């Protein structure tokens, strides 16, 4: 059974107190550091008014609407003949700018089938173990 209180009889203070806004000169150091960070990350800088709104939680970055794509129409207004699209990669993995051949991929799969990844005995990191040693993995034998 729960007890309910009549409205106004609660001893809890549920009203939020209004905070006094900080003087603007308090934001200057943070503004400089934030713009320095944005410059380091090669992003657009903020104006001082945008930064103050950002810190107070009023400013939101402008978001660009997503473009709807359909299979029949090109993404841009240019004709398809002039538009260059990236070619899809046919291999499953790329290393250092070169692709593996089908034969090499098959060979790697056959070798990896001989091993398993298991946690060490009770706790600790995972380790690669041969299929023959699975029963004694991580134990003192």
User: Which residue, 56, 70, 4, 5, is CA-closest to 27?
Assistant: 56
Q: Which residue has the higher pLDDT, 118 or 51?
A: 51
Question: Would you say the C-alpha torsion 35, 37, 38, 42 has a positive or negative sign?
Answer: positive
Q: Is residue 65 part of a domain?
A: no
Q: Is residue 106 part of a domain?
A: no
User: Where among 56, 74, 99 does a domain terminate?
Assistant: 56
Q: What is the number of domains present in the chain?
A: 2
Write out the residue range of the structural domain in which residue 139 sits: 113-141
pTM exceeding the 0.75 threshold for the entire prediction: no
pLDDT tens by residue, 12-41:
767 778 878 788 888 999 999 999 999 998
User: Where among 36, 56, 76 does a domain terminate?
Assistant: 56
Tokens 């538009």 belong to 83
Q: Is residue 43 part of a domain?
A: yes
Q: Is residue 4 part of a domain?
A: no
Q: Is residue 81 part of a domain?
A: no
Question: Rounded mean pLDDT of the chain?
Answer: 75
What residue spans of the chain are helical by DSSP H? 28-40, 48-56, 102-112
């Amino acid at each position: 059974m729960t007890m309910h209180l009549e409205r106004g009889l609660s001893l809890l203070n549920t009203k939020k107190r209004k905070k006094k806004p900080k003087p603007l000169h308090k934001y200057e150091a943070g503004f400089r550091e934030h713009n320095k960070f944005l410059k380091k990350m090669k992003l657009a800088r903020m104006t001082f008014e945008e930064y103050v709104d950002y810190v107070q939680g009023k400013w939101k970055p402008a978001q660009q609407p997503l473009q709807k794509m359909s299979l029949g129409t090109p993404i841009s207004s240019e004709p398809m003949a002039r538009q260059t699209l990236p070619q899809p990669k046919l291999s499953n993995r790329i290393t250092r700018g070169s692709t593996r051949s089908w034969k090499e991929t098959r060979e790697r799969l056959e070798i990896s089938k001989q091993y398993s990844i298991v946690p060490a005995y009770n706790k600790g990191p995972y380790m690669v173990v041969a299929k023959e040693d699975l029963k004694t993995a991580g134990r003192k034998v």
